[in-house]
Structures are given as C-alpha cells and as structure tokens.
C-alpha cells in the first residue's frame, strides 16, 4: 500500500533546485538562505471542505490551486514577492496517493506562476474531511510592505477589478494581483485583498488606519457574475458587489492626484464620519455584511 513516505519521495522528485534552498523538502525542516536586505513576510491560510470548496464537485487540482492562490493574494495585499510555500494536507481515508498528487500539482501550478516553490509540508490521512493549509513566505524585494494602516483623510479608495458573484466559479480560478501590487506599491497608502467582501475589508482598512470612508455605489465596478447571481436570488447586483467574499481583487487607498490603475470607488474621511455608502438618493452607513467565520 502506498504510504506517506512514498508520497514524500514523489514530492522530492518533483522539487526544483534553488540556489538559496540549502536543504530541500524531506528533512525535518527546509533550510533557506535569506537575503540580507529582504524583509521576510509570512502568513498561513487554510481551506476546508464544505466551507471554501466542495470536494464532491471540485477537483483536487482546483482545490490545491485555490489555496495556493489565496496565499499568493496575501502577498499581493502586502506588495511582496512570493518566495516559498509549505503545505499540509489532512486527507480523508479513501482518497489515495493519486488524489494527494493532484492536490500537490494544483499547488505547484499556482506557485510556479510566481516562482514560488513548495519546500515543505506534512500529509496525513484521517477519518475526517479534506483540509489543505498553505504557509507562504514572501520577500519585500525593494518594496516597503503595504499594510492596512496607512490610509489618510482625503485619499481615494480604489479596487483593481469588478466585484461580486465569485461563488459562481471565479473563487476557484482567480489570478493573484501580485504584479499590479508591485506596480502601484510606491503610490498606495494602505492595501488589502478582497477575501471577506468589500464592506468588511474596507472596515479592516478603516479600523487599522483610524479613518472613515465614503463609497459611491454608482462607482463600484459590478462583475457580470453579480448580475447573473442576482437573476438567481433577486438580490440587487450592487449588494453582491458590496458584500460577497472571495473576489481576490485589491482594495487600496492613495492620494487622488495620482493617476492609479483600477477604479476609484470612494474617499477616505475622518473616523468620526463613519463608513458611508452614497447612493443616488441617499447616504447610509455601510455595514459589513461580508464573510466572517462564526466561532
């Protein structure tokens, strides 16, 4: 019967050599030569069967790709370059080594697009559902990391693409905005990737920056998926654009004199003004209705 060590050996055979990877996967830890002037950025993100994907519908290749791309999108949010990834898989008994390989190939396919090899991991099978966790290491590579905390009163608020309705399939096949993030990094004051939904992720920026905001409903780019979903559930497309999660576009703030790529959707105000949505006829508080895992 194929076991964990066969899988580890298979992964080792897949691994690319790297000058800075002194000890590759297969030992207790991987060993990396980190460059002096590069800040190290690190985070971790998991996907759970029935929450972030559905293993009865989605292929292991799609699932692996999604979790890696979520982590690469976190690199985009900080404007760093992805460097290395590690992955753990809790594999339901009955899923075989070929399934695990497909997961890994999905991870690798997404990582390869940004020269981000998988340098370690842990796989175990159990009487439970599929969990895939990825740790991402990024490097600043000459760009000061962009946090959520730098938005200033008077800054414009921008998004990198149309929003809403990602549940129709886009949540599996998005492209992490790493290249754009690097391009705009010198000009933005705060940034986040839209994983929890615009209303909630904007709240993160406002809280961390100690500011308020006004969003112009008419300015929000609404994805055609939000229109399609609206046909199904009768909920206005703008509500999908405001509150749906997993867009994986960037939300960023910058001085409005800069001519930034993306769509301007609002303005940063003083904290005392709150977070407001300006529609054609009225102005109302924009409450976060996006994704939050209840505990």
Q: Which 175-194 residues touch its own copies, going by CB under 8 A?
A: 192-193
Structure tokens at 133: 């966790």
In whole angstroms, how close is the CB of 217 to its own copies at the nearest point?
25
In whole angstroms, give the CA distance from residue 103 to residue 98.
Answer: 9
Please report whether residue 33 would count as binding its own copies according to CB under 8 A.
yes
Handedness of CA 145, 147, 150, 155 (dihedral sign): positive
- Of 14, 32, 141, 227, the one binding its own copies (CB under 8 A) is 32
Please check whether residue 267 is in contact with residue 211, taking contact to mean a CB–CB distance below 8 angstroms.
Answer: no
Please report whether residue 91 would count as binding its own copies according to CB under 8 A.
yes
Backbone angles phi, psi at 238, to 5 degrees: -65, -30
Question: CB neighbours of 30 closer than 8 A, spacing ≥ 6?
Answer: 21, 23, 24, 84, 86, 119, 120
In whole angstroms, how close is the CB of 97 to its own copies at the nearest point?
5
Please report whether residue 34 would count as binding its own copies according to CB under 8 A.
yes
Which residues 53-72 are close enough to bind its own copies by CB under 8 A?
none
Pick the stretch among 126-134, 170-178, 227-235, 271-279 that binds its own copies (CB under 8 A): 126-134
Please report whether residue 118 would count as binding its own copies according to CB under 8 A.
no
Structure tokens at 224: 């055609």
Please report whether residue 44 would count as binding its own copies according to CB under 8 A.
yes
In whole angstroms, give the CA distance from residue 183 to residue 261.
Answer: 9
Nearest to 82 by CA among 41, 120, 30: 41
How many angstroms separate the first and last alpha carbons of the chain? 39
Which residues 190-229 are close enough to bind its own copies by CB under 8 A?
192-193, 208
Q: Smaller CB distance to its own copies: residue 51 or 179?
A: 51
Which residues 274-293 are close enough to bind its own copies by CB under 8 A?
292-293
To which residue do tokens 């609002």 refer? 266
Q: Smaller CB distance to its own copies: residue 63 or 222?
A: 63
Please report whether residue 50 would count as binding its own copies according to CB under 8 A.
yes
Pick the stretch among 55-63, 94-102, 158-166, 261-269 that binds its own copies (CB under 8 A): 94-102
Pick the stretch among 57-65, 139-147, 209-217, 235-243 that binds its own copies (CB under 8 A): 139-147
In whole angstroms, how close is the CB of 166 to its own copies at the nearest point?
17
How many residues make contact with its own copies (CB under 8 A)?
A: 76
Sheet with 250-254, edge to edge strand ranges: 188-193, 250-254, 156-159, 263-270, 211-216, 275-278, 283-285
- Of 4, 102, 109, 175, the one binding its own copies (CB under 8 A) is 4
Please report whether residue 30 would count as binding its own copies according to CB under 8 A.
yes
Structure tokens at 214: 């006004």
């Amino acid at each position: 019967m194929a076991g964990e060590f066969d899988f580890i050996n298979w992964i080792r055979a897949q691994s690319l050599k790297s000058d800075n990877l002194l000890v590759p996967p297969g030992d207790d830890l991987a060993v990396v030569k980190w460059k002096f002037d590069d800040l190290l950025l690190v985070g971790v993100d998991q996907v759970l069967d029935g929450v972030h994907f559905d293993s009865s519908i989605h292929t292991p290749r799609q699932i692996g790709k999604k979790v890696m791309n979520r982590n690469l999108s976190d690199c985009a949010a900080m404007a760093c370059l992805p460097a290395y990834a590690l992955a753990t898989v809790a594999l339901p008994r009955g899923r075989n080594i070929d399934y695990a390989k497909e997961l890994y190939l999905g991870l690798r396919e997404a990582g390869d697009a940004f020269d981000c090899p998988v340098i370690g991991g842990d796989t175990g099978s159990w009487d439970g559902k599929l969990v895939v966790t990825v740790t991402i290491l990024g490097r600043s590579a000459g760009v000061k990391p962009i946090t959520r905390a730098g938005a200033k009163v008077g800054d414009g608020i921008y998004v990198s693409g149309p929003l809403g309705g990602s549940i129709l399939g886009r949540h599996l096949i998005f492209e992490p905005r790493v290249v754009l993030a690097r391009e705009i990094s010198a000009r933005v004051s705060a940034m986040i990737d839209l994983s929890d939904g615009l209303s909630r992720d904007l709240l993160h920026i406002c809280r961390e920056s100690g500011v308020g905001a006004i969003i112009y409903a008419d300015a929000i780019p609404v994805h055609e998926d939000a229109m399609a979903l609206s046909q199904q559930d009768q909920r206005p497309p703008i509500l999908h654009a405001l509150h749906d999660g997993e867009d994986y576009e960037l939300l960023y703030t910058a001085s409005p004199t800069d001519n930034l790529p993306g769509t301007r959707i609002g303005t940063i105000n003083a904290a005392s003004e709150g977070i407001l949505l300006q529609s054609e006829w009225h102005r109302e508080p924009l409450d976060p209705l996006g994704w939050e895992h209840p505990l």
